[in-house]
Amino acid sequence: MKIAVCQCLPTNGAIEQAFVNLETNLSAASRVDAQVVIFPELFLPGYNRPDLHKKLSQSKGDEWCDRIATIANSYKCALVIGWAEREGDKIFNAATCFGNDGNIIGHYRKIQRFGSMEHKSFGAGDQYATFDFFGQIAAILICYDVEFPQHVRALAEQGVTLIFVPTANPAGYEHVSKILVPARSSEMAVTIAYANYCGSENGLKFAGNSVIVGPDGKSLASSGTNETLLITNINNDCDPEFLSLQLTDYTNLSS
């Protein structure tokens, strides 16, 4: 299975530009036959924008989900994306997997909220979400969740072999992608795809260093601190070489 991780600049409330970025990355990934692209945490409407979380949050089935589903179906490429979800009076830090036909196949609400901002903006999730994905059992965790070994262990015990992790990991916490994510992978023999931002948003600088780690804890693909689309084949019997595309490279891909 070929998967992609999108390391991008944060949305910062620019919703229409976010959809342009989403489609650009999905188009590039589909042209090299990737089955899925993982985008960062709270891609919509932005992570460090607590002023927008409640104001712009949407429910499943509203405009954001409809537009995302249409894009996924158009490129026949699945995607995992973080967003602010409204349910009644409650707001959740959520992430959803849209299949390559646009249907929702996995939906998760962040359990481990990080810092005062997240506690003020969001309610806590209370259950895992697992789903079949191209012959594997997959699940979603969000950022801080993956730092807790009990969550990865609980998923592995349910047969999960692939975990998608949208994140908004700040600068100064590079050890998460370099040490903790590989540790979680090797402890439970799972593949983890960890998608972070680069750049800054509303005064918060992000660490970049997105990574895809195999079940032996070894990196299959990793980024630095620039906008990058990581693409690699996670099958254990395949060459671990990967493709790392800068945004300016996308138009050079062959159809």
The CA distances from residue 247 to 32, 75, 232, in Å, are 15, 18, 17
C-alpha distances in Å from residue 156, one per residue of 11, 116, 185, 188, 193 = 32, 30, 10, 6, 15
Catalytic pick among 2, 8, 41, 97:
41
Active-site residue, 76 included: no
Catalytic residue among 110, 118, 147, 227: 110
State both tokens at 53: 């979380």
Active site includes 110?
Answer: yes
Q: Which of 6, 8, 143, 198 is catalytic?
A: 143
Q: How far apart are the C-alpha atoms of 150 and 184, rounded to whole Å?
A: 10
Half-sphere exposure (CA, 13 Å, Cβ side) for 176? 25
Q: Which of 70, 44, 68 is nearest to 57 (CA)?
A: 44
Q: Please identify every residue annotated as catalytic.
A: 41, 110, 143
